[in-house]
Amino acid sequence: MASPKGNPLRSRLDSAEPLFGGWCTLPTPFAAELVGTSGVDYAVVDMQHGLTGYSDLVSMLQAISLAGAVPMVRIPFGDHGIAQRALDAGAMGLIFPMINTVALAEDAVRSCRYPPLGERSYGPIRARLHIDIDTEWVNQQVLCLVQIETQEAMDNLDGILAVSGIDGVYVGPADLALSHGMPPGKSSPELDALLSRIVDGCRSRARIPAIHTLSGADARDKVALGYRMCSIGSDSVWLGSGYTQQVFLAREQTSEAAGGLY
């Protein structure tokens, strides 16, 4: 008997275990495959800042799935057409950037939920193979994460978290820091206070707190703050820093510690 289709992250998010993810900015299936086989629980194809277009997306989602990770996509800001196409192509979760208001959070829900919960058009071309065609079941399986990354979003945090149909938030720490007058990529008590406030809000609304991190060590720090999903750097970050370290080693020089956001 065939095993039930669905999103493997769903049952795991019901437990207390943290989930760690990869981030794909390079537009090649092999890079996505390498990320997917690294031991991550999920891998996100970044279509906002990454180099991937729709023509590359399907093969990258296939590579991630075959590697054993759960495929997700961060869509370009406000591009709800791509959101629906990414889901039809087999993405099991979407990250919506720059969600600063309740209205934008409601738009995100409409684009990734079938009626009556949303306005997603029916056409699960590849998704039928991995999630199913039953719309009620699919609505339960697809993860909808909205990004909190600005001062305006923090001002509207309670209302955004209350929007029916979102599963949680995904924190963009670089933009969150910038919008509050802090440099990106640097830890500070002020930034930690904002991150903790987001976790507290998620707990009060039974939402998933997720975040982008600089490194494995940074991910552990964010788990200690209460984050349930932590993406670790990106393929381009680790390719660049890893290769640089080896060249420095060959030259008997010392390089700076590796890490980065995207």
Active site residues: 49
Residue type for 101, please?
T
Element (H, E) at 111: helix 102-112
Question: Which residues are paired to 211 by β-bridges?
Answer: 171, 230
Residue pair 148/105 in contact (Cβ under 8 Å)? The answer is no
Residue pair 226/232 in contact (Cβ under 8 Å)? The answer is no
CA distance 241 to 184: 18
Q: Quick one: 110 exposed, middle or buried, by C-beta within 10 A (0-12, 13-18, 19+)?
A: middle
